[in-house]
Structure 1
Amino acid sequence: DTTIVPAEIDAATSCDLDGMLLGDYPGPKAQLYYTGDARPHWCCDTVEMFNTLLRPEQARPIRAVFVQDMAKADWERPRGNWFDARTGFYVQGSKRHGSMGPTLASFQQEADARTFVEQYGGKMLRFAEVTPEMVDLSGGALHDKRM
């Protein structure tokens, strides 16, 4: 099996779900790689990534999923610092917002997630602790008629 190397965000990288240009928005981004498809499927937010992964109709096998380590990436213009999303620590309910509003801040190290909670509030979760109810997109930018 070939190891998947995360792609990088450039000026033209857009969200597969809503077309937003990833480079124009703050907060952690994600990229999914489906089995049989070499290109990344971009998510403009970790909430969107979890929403995609946790949908009951999501049946396509996923080879890899990457998020950004927000302890190392610039919150306003995150680039690089990708890691396996399944190994990460996430902070829900902090004061920091991503491209779609409230987000799940992503961290590779538990200590960094704890420091973020001390600074910005919220609750630390592991990947498997995130539920579909936590990542419901029905009230978000997807239904914002101004966009």
Structure 2
Amino acid sequence: MNCLCMTRRRALGLAALAALSATGLLAACGDKDQQQAQLAPVEIDRGTSCELDGMLLADYPGPKAQVVFAGQDKPSFFCDTVEFFNTMLAGEQVRAVRAAWVQDMGQAKWEEPQGHWIDAKGAFYVLGSKRHGSMGPTIASFAQEADATKFAGEYGGKVLRYADVKPDMVDLSGGALHDTRM
């Protein structure tokens, strides 16, 4: 009987410990979810510059991107989605990404895009269209597949998902050749 009581006490103690641990884990998960919820895209202004080349985003047409890397409170901006993908897909990219956004060009004006930030990994992209961004040919980003398909029908290109964009599709060489404002 004494042995059975010890087993029962031990089981109750382990159950209580497990409950406390689970509560702690849930609280920790809640903190992480709360931190993620606090991450939000930041609107560009006249002084917002590109992470890679210092170009002012507001001076150029086409979709922009922003990324919050681990250890950063503020996002790094990209004046073009090709630069964004080139950075994200680079083999030497070792910075952990907390959040990444691109602009929904189904809603934003191409010539002066403002707002309409969407999660980069959930977006639809059009590669190979006739529309140019800050670095020449760019990759248009959309929240809705229907908008991407419509854009591709009008300007050419192929609709892709984030995971379908490969490093050889985002070559930065020659981008300055298309910049008439430098």
TM-score (norm 1): 0.95
What is residue 119 of structure 1 aligned with on the other side?
Answer: 154
User: Which structure is richer in relative contact order (CA contacts within 8 A, separation 6 or more)?
Assistant: 1
The number of aligned residues is 145
Normalized per residue, which structure has more helix? 2
What is residue 104 of structure 2 aligned with on the other side?
Answer: 69
In 2: Cα distance, 1:44 partner to 1:130 partner: 18
Percent of aligned pairs sharing the same letter: 64
What is residue 44 of structure 1 aligned with on the other side?
Answer: 79
What is residue 5 of structure 1 aligned with on the other side?
Answer: 40
SS of aligned partner of 2:147: helix
SS of aligned partner of 1:53: helix
In 2: Cα distance, 1:141 partner to 1:84 partner: 28
What is residue 5 of structure 2 aligned with on the other side?
Answer: none
Give runs of aligned pairs for residues 35-114 of structure 1, distance below 5 A: 35-114=70-149
Could you tell me which runs of 5 or more consecutive residues in structure 2 were left unpaired when the two chains were aligned: 1-31
Map Cα deviations across residues 98-141 of structure 1 (whole Å, 9 max, x no partner).
00000000001100000101111111111000010000112222
In 2: Cα distance, 1:14 partner to 1:86 partner: 23
Structure of higher CA gyration radius: 2
Normalized per residue, which structure has more strand? 1
Question: Out of 49, 60, 82, which is 1:14 matched to?
Answer: 49
Query: 4+ residue runs of structure 1 moved beyond 4 angstroms?
Result: none
Q: CA RMSD in A?
A: 1.4
Could you tell me which runs of 5 or more consecutive residues in structure 1 were left unpaired when the two chains were aligned: none
CA-CA distance at 1:39 after TM superposition = 0.9
In 2: Cα distance, 1:112 partner to 1:21 partner: 27
Map Cα deviations across residues 39-78 of structure 1 (whole Å, 9 max, x no partner).
1100000000000000000011000100000010000000
